[in-house]
Structure 1
Amino acid sequence: MYAITGATGQLGRLVIETLLKTIPADRIVAAVRNPAKARDLAERGVTVREADYNRPDTLAPAFAGVQKLLLISSTEVSGRLPRHQAVIEAAKRAGVSLIAYTSMLHADTSPATLAIEHRQTEEVIAASGLPAVILRNGWYTENHLLALPAALEHGAFVGAAKDGRFSSAARRDYAEAAALVLTTDGQARKIYELAADQAFTLAELAAEFSRQSGKAIAYDDLSQAAYQDVLTGAGLPADFAALLADTDAAAARGALFDDGGALGRLIGRPTTSMQSLVAAALRG
């Protein structure tokens, strides 16, 4: 059996959608904090089990009979490591034969604060002795597109990444990669640096917003502190705003760029272009 943690999240649902193309539904476990949110998956024959990172007693039963487990990293801004560690320990007790973990691009060397708990989680997995495969995902292009409505309204797109290039890919690309790794033999001890075929700067992204919308949108590059202030002013929690501003600053130093092409090779097709995702976002 295959289990996906965080299965009602955006990435988790896409992984299950991909698995359902080749794997019988009753061999897929949706491990979720709130089973009520997975009723649609249960109606399609997927096994839904409660698995709350914050309640370790729910984890081992959720992984019973599971051979391969995808640990999708917690969405918490901080404090991820204890949650991840609980999953890893439960997977080992349950006899899982392979754990795959969604880490961050170049987590072992990245200067981004966001990379710290990913790096620590990778170390915990290694120390556990569980056969493992690490999926170091780059930035999701959809993260950038969250700013599109504001950019259209104000005619400006802000950030703090200078000329740093983002090898951002579509969430669906990363989901397909995760599903393929789970269903392909010989993945233990592999580390994949997963990033888009083409990279772009935030200035180039703003130019694409302009080209497709027909409205002039300029990229305004700010200092890390000023960008953090903009984000908090827009209503983001202070710790989340700080993390996003730090990630942009790290991107300016190359943290979210990779030209190795591993993602496209893994999924067997070109990665989804930034241009096509902008078009889809504008269509709504």
Structure 2
Amino acid sequence: MIAVTGASGHLGRLVIKALLAKTEASEIVALVRNPETVSDLAAQGVNVRKADYDQPESYGEALKGVEKLLLISGSAVGQRVPQHKAVIEAAKANGVKFMAYTSILRADQSPMLLAEEHAATEAILNASSIPHALLRNGWYNENYSENLAPVLETGAVIGCSGEGRVASASRADYAEAAAVVLTSSVEEQAGKIYELAGDEAFTMSALAAKVATLSGKKAAYMDMSKEDYIAALTGAGVPEGFAQVLADSSANAAGGWLEDNSKTLSALIGRPTTTIAESIKSAL
């Protein structure tokens, strides 16, 4: 059986959907904190099991009979390393034969704040002796397309990325890649490191221009210092810690850390990745 952590989340649900197109529902295990949130998956025949990052003992029972496991990184920044470690230890204790982990682009080199916990998790996986693959996901189109309201209201995309380019893809693209890896043989995937990103990279100025064209409203990119960007975010109600992370990511985009031209993602899924224009159009 193939299990997916965080199966009720945005990415998790899409991974389950992609798996259902490739294997029987009875061979899929959705691991969730609250099983009631995925009653629709249970109705399709997916095995739903309770598993909570904050209750590591829950994974001991939840992983019984599981052969392959997708560990989708948790959302609690600052707490993810012990959470992930507990899942990896439970997987080893249950004899899981293969794991895949959703990391971040060039996690072993990236200066981004978000990369620290991913690099630490990769190290734990490497030391576990569990055969595994690393899915180093780039940025999601939805990071932008799901946050268009303030852009349309103010006419501005703000950030501190300069002319840095972002090679983003849709969550569905990354989910499909995970499903491909999980349904392939262990021998084929063990030890693989995938740097996954969109085919088409863009600057924030280009992003603003696409929003303007597709919405018919004015939109332009306003580049600012990292400090001013943090101030703008916190002034809009974003918590200080999260604002620091967003600004750090934007600043590192200027250094090329969110760009990748390998087209590994499109090769893995066998089709071009979803463009940012397509995601914006859908969101609008």
Could you tell me the TM-score, scaled by structure 1's length? 0.98
**The 10-residue stretch of structure 1 (172-181 or 271-280) with the greater mean CA deviation from structure 2:** 271-280
Aligned to 1:171: 171
Aligned to 1:255: 257
Distance 1:166 1:129 in 2: 34
* Contact 2:18–2:179 under 8 Å retained in 1: yes
Distance 2:217 2:56 in 1: 50
Q: Displacement of 1:59 after TM fit?
A: 0.5
Distance 1:60 1:244 in 2: 35
* Contact 1:77–1:240 under 8 Å retained in 2: no
Distance 2:80 2:267 in 1: 30
Distance 2:18 2:144 in 1: 24
Q: How many residues align?
A: 282
Distance 1:121 1:226 in 2: 32
Q: Which amino acid aligns with 1:123?
A: A
* Runs (4+) off by over 4 Å: none
Q: Displacement of 1:109 after TM fit?
A: 0.7
Q: Displacement of 1:228 after TM fit?
A: 1.3
SS state at 2:189 partner: coil
Q: Displacement of 1:147 after TM fit?
A: 2.9
Distance 2:236 2:178 in 1: 33
SS state at 1:56 partner: coil
Aligned to 2:222: 220
Percent of aligned pairs sharing the same letter = 54
Q: Which amino acid aligns with 1:41?
A: L
Residue 205 of structure 2 is aligned with which of 178, 203, 213? 203
Distance 1:143 1:197 in 2: 17
* Contact 2:68–2:99 under 8 Å retained in 1: yes
1:1-284 matches, within 5 Å, as 1-185=1-185, 186-282=188-284
SS state at 2:195 partner: strand
* Contact 2:198–2:263 under 8 Å retained in 1: yes
Q: Which amino acid aligns with 1:258?
A: D
Distance 1:231 1:147 in 2: 13
Q: Displacement of 1:280 after TM fit?
A: 0.6
Distance 2:262 2:134 in 1: 16
